[in-house]
């Protein structure tokens, strides 16, 4: 599958299966945006991977926080 320059959003992409899918998509040339619950886990994931993959970005988001949904 050709993912070069495709935009991919992965919710739950900062650990486990989601993180592995993000890395695979990045290896195939995709622009990857990950969303994770934990700001700390997101920061760690981005720190570990942005030097290797320039097309990676992310955002922490807590869907249970009603104020963040507005």
Could you list the residue range(s) of the whole structural domain that residue 47 is in? Answer: 7-61
Number of compact structural domains in the chain: 1
Instruction: Give the pLDDT confidence score for residue 69 in this predicted structure.
Output: 66
pTM for the model: 0.86
**In this structure, is residue 66 part of a structural domain?**
no
Residue 69 gets which letter from DSSP? G
pLDDT digits (tens, 9 = 90+) for 37-52: 899 999 999 999 999 9
**In this structure, is residue 22 part of a structural domain?**
yes
Cα distances (angstroms) measured from residue 49 to each of 34, 45, 56, 63, 67? 12, 6, 8, 25, 30
**In this structure, is residue 25 part of a structural domain?**
yes
pLDDT digits (tens, 9 = 90+) for 3-62: 999 999 999 999 999 999 999 999 999 999 999 989 999 999 999 999 999 999 999 988
């Amino acid at each position: 599958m050709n993912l070069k320059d495709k935009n991919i959003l992965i919710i739950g992409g900062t650990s486990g299966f989601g993180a592995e899918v993000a890395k695979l998509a990045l290896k195939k040339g995709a622009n990857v945006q990950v969303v994770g619950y934990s700001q700390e886990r997101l920061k760690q994931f981005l720190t570990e991977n942005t030097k290797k993959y320039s097309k990676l970005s992310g955002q922490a988001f807590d869907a249970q926080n009603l104020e963040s949904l507005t």
